[in-house]
Structure 1
Amino acid sequence: MPVPPTSRPGTPEGLPTPGRFAHLHPEDGACLMEAASLLATGRFTDSPAGTHPVLAALARAVNDAVDDDTRHALWPLAADLADAWPADRAYGPLLVGTVVDAARRVRPTSRRLRRRGAADHARAARLARARTSGARARVADLLWWHGPGHHHLEHALRVLLTAPDADRRLSRLLRDAVTEARARAAGAPAPVAPPSGAVRRP
């Protein structure tokens, strides 16, 4: 696929121009997850099958929130996001808990964030020990993500956006999340730690 004429210098060859929100066609630009999908399958969607849905939600939110320079700097992550789906059930709540922890560093006195972070980390620890899998487990995980998991992530991201250095915090959060997801997907040991601190588009 040719690079659109409006591509900024440094945009990886073959990818559309980085942009906020969803796009109808690559010629209009692409968000980070749309770029990941193009790399993975050639399909143009912001929910590629090879990316864990919680990580994809975080990537979409960060893509839409940061400024153009930060978004452009994150663009190389598309290749890693294209194949980042840890198999362990603990990963989703662990990632949400990590985002809530980051929000607590912005708003350390929030009891709501403290409760939600504790709940997410407790679920991650419980699932790390669980031996159940199959259809019932998948349904339970889906219900958690479309219920409390999604709400916890959205609230934490709203808090992070109030920080004066929100772009830096969000960029680092996404980079660390991608690194951990890739390590877990490759089978590297990644213990669930106790707490210390996709958002879909409109």
Structure 2
Amino acid sequence: MQPASHQTVRLARGRHERPEQGACVMELASMLAGERFSDKPRAVCPVIGAFLRTYNDLLADEPRQDLYPYAARVVGTNRGKQAERVRARMCWQFARSLPASGLFRMPVLAWGRRRREAIAQRAAMAAACSQPDAHRRVLQLLDDLIAVARSGPVPDFPTELLAASRAGRR
């Protein structure tokens, strides 16, 4: 049996010990980053990683394959806490825009790493439970999350989104 590579592996749900068993999108990212095979590659922003691990596992097999190019695109997104904060807020705002946002009753109070990752996981759950067009919106969200900090310093979170989040808490 020939060893699996980033070119031959098929995206699958769950965690895997070896690429020959399949790989989730984050395990594929670890392969592409040249890291040890893991679903938590250091080169990937923890918020993006939490979102993708959860979403990968909730998708049916066919749409999961749409995540394949994102394994490469997320490598190099680990750009620090400010980028994580912005991305977590983007996930929070995205989840609140979905019909399944009832799953997402998490106030924006603390933005510690675990909290930021939990927000991303909840956003992925809300997306997976939404209408079929949510998958297209998730792919756009991923593009937006990846774009944060790609070309220079991380901007402050957009004030209009922050104002909207505050209005939603009342």
Same-fold status (TM-score > 0.5): yes
- Say which of 149, 169, 186 aligns to 2:116: 149
Between the aligned partners of 2:36 and 2:100, the Cα distance in structure 1 is 41
Gaps of 5+ in 1: 5-11, 124-143, 198-202
Number of aligned residue pairs: 159
Rg larger in 1 or in 2? 1
Distance change in 2, residues 1:17/1:156 (3 Å): closer
2:131 corresponds to 1:164: yes
Q: Which residue of 84, 96, 112 corresponds with 1:104? A: 96
The 5 A counterparts of 1:45-194 are: 45-87=38-80, 89-107=81-99, 113=105, 115-116=107-108, 119=109, 144-146=112-114, 148-165=115-132, 166-178=134-146, 180-181=147-148, 184-187=149-152, 190-194=155-159
TM-score, structure 2 as length reference: 0.76
Give the % identical residues: 25
1:99–1:156 CA contact under 8 A, matched in 2 = yes
- Aligned-pair CA distance for 1:192: 2.0
Residues 33 and 56 of structure 1 are in contact (CA less than 8 Å); yes or no, is this contact kept in structure 2?
Answer: yes
Go from structure 1 to structure 2 and tell me whether the alpha carbon gap of 1:73 and 1:151 turns closer, same or farther (over 3 Å shift): closer
Structure number with higher relative contact order (C-alpha < 8 Å, ≥ 6 residues apart): 1
Shift of 1:109: 8.6
Displaced runs of 4+ in structure 1, greater than 6 A?
Answer: none
CA displacement at 1:3 relative to structure 2 = 6.6
TM-score relative to the length of structure 1: 0.65
- Matched-pair contact (CA < 8 Å) for 1:32–1:63: yes
For residue 20 of structure 1, what is the amino acid of its counterpart? R
Deviation at 1:114, TM superposition (A): 7.8
